[in-house]
Amino acid sequence: MHGSQSRTDADPAFRDDVLAGLAAPIPAVPARWLYDLRGSELFEQITQLPEYYPTRVETALLLRYSRSVAEMAGRGDAVVEFGSGSSAKTPILLEAVEPAAYVPIDISGEFLMESAAALKKQFPLLPVYPVEADFMQAIELPRQVEAMGKLGFFPGSTIGNLVARTAVDLLRAMRDTLGEGSFLLIGMDRVKDEEALIRAYDDAQGITAEFNLNLLHRINAELNGDIPVGAFRHRAIWNDKMSRIEMHLEALQDVEFTVEGERFQFKAGETIHTENSHKYGLRDSRLLLRAAGWGVAKEWTDPEEQFAIILAQAEPPRFAP
Ligand code: AVI
């Protein structure tokens, strides 16, 4: 018996992605479904883990170099953040840039309103214009910021969760949103020692494992599934050819289960691919940005070159020889 409740209540996009993804020749579920309420809480915990350097290193870079960003990009611009800006990183940049306006863009209206309200408390004089939209597409910004210079902000190495083709599409959409001459400050994780990467994505406390396995709990709860979660384990794999960490859920034994009344079988050792986290070398990140019409104005990295924040500028199209 499969209750009709979840059939009607479940997000149809989640349902379609899971059913198609589990049936695919290489089973995979898009990483965005990792972030339900519990998944978001677990991700928050990941950012505090000793092994998970990206948040710590990027925050330190912003503390150290935000003033240089402000000098180069110009104070008094509109800061446009791609994401709701709920992290501790946003105030660091806003302090330094002293923008004339702040525009957070997020697909989740709820998140957006919450974090905009929190920022208003911290910066009572700063005009905040939240935009509820999918920033994978070019967006028309609020008319109040039309005449201002723009500094886009995309921290967290979220760009790494996209394959190159989609990452370029996103960067191009950002360029269209912000306009020629605008700046973009983006965080990108660097290629490094494989062991350090694996540790960051398979921590000793098992928080990342819980984060990954939570997807199966979510499928069971929202899509009327009976997946035996204990029959799967978290795997973090370095795919050198693709220059990325992959998260998988690996079946520990042969398993059979149903989701929304559809039957699935996994043999021991088969996996569901749940996330990519691409890592970029210095020249890789430049190429990625260039492919989308962004020139690199300046890059800052930590002494161990674990992570980079990059200030890019939307270049005018040029004739190429
Ligand atoms: C959100 N994103 C940048 C994180 C990352 O590092 O790719 C997601 C994450 N997955 C496992 N740990 C962290």
Residue nearest to atom 5 of ligand 1 (CA): 277
What integer pLDDT is reported at residue 317 of this predicted model?
85
- C-alpha 257/C-alpha 37 separation (Å) is 24
Residues 292 and 144 grouped into a single domain: yes
pLDDT per 10-residue tile (average), the chain, 321 residues: 54 97 98 95 97 98 98 92 89 97 92 90 95 96 97 98 98 98 98 98 98 98 98 98 98 98 98 98 98 98 98 92 91
CB-defined site of ligand 1, < 6 Å: 46, 54, 156-158, 160-161, 201, 208, 275, 277
Q: How far is CA 229 from CA 16, 144, 252, in A?
A: 21, 50, 10
pLDDT, tens digit, 9 for 90 and up, residues 240-270: 999 999 999 999 999 999 999 999 999 999 9
What integer pLDDT is reported at residue 318 of this predicted model?
84
Is the separation of the CB atoms in 247 and 212 below 8 Å? yes
Task: Count how many domains the chain has.
Answer: 2
Residues 156 and 216 grouped into a single domain: no
Adjacent-strand bridge partners of 247:
236, 275
Here the CATH number for the domain that contains residue 154 is 3.40.50.150
Residue nearest to atom 10 of ligand 1 (CA): 201
> Which residue, 93, 157, 150, 170, is CA-closest to 301?
157
What integer pLDDT is reported at residue 95 of this predicted model?
96
Residue with tokens 């939209």: 133
What integer pLDDT is reported at residue 320 of this predicted model?
86
Residues 121 and 183 grouped into a single domain: yes
AA letter at 217: H
Residue nearest to atom 9 of ligand 1 (CA): 43
Given its phi and psi angles, is residue 243 left (phi above 0), alpha (psi -120 to 50 degrees) or beta? left
264 membership: H or E segment, kind and range: strand 262-266
Residue-range definition of the domain harbouring residue 310? 54-192+281-314
Is the separation of the CB atoms in 77 and 100 below 8 Å? yes
- C-alpha 181/C-alpha 178 separation (Å) is 8
Is the separation of the CB atoms in 155 and 169 below 8 Å? no
Residues 114 and 209 grouped into a single domain: no
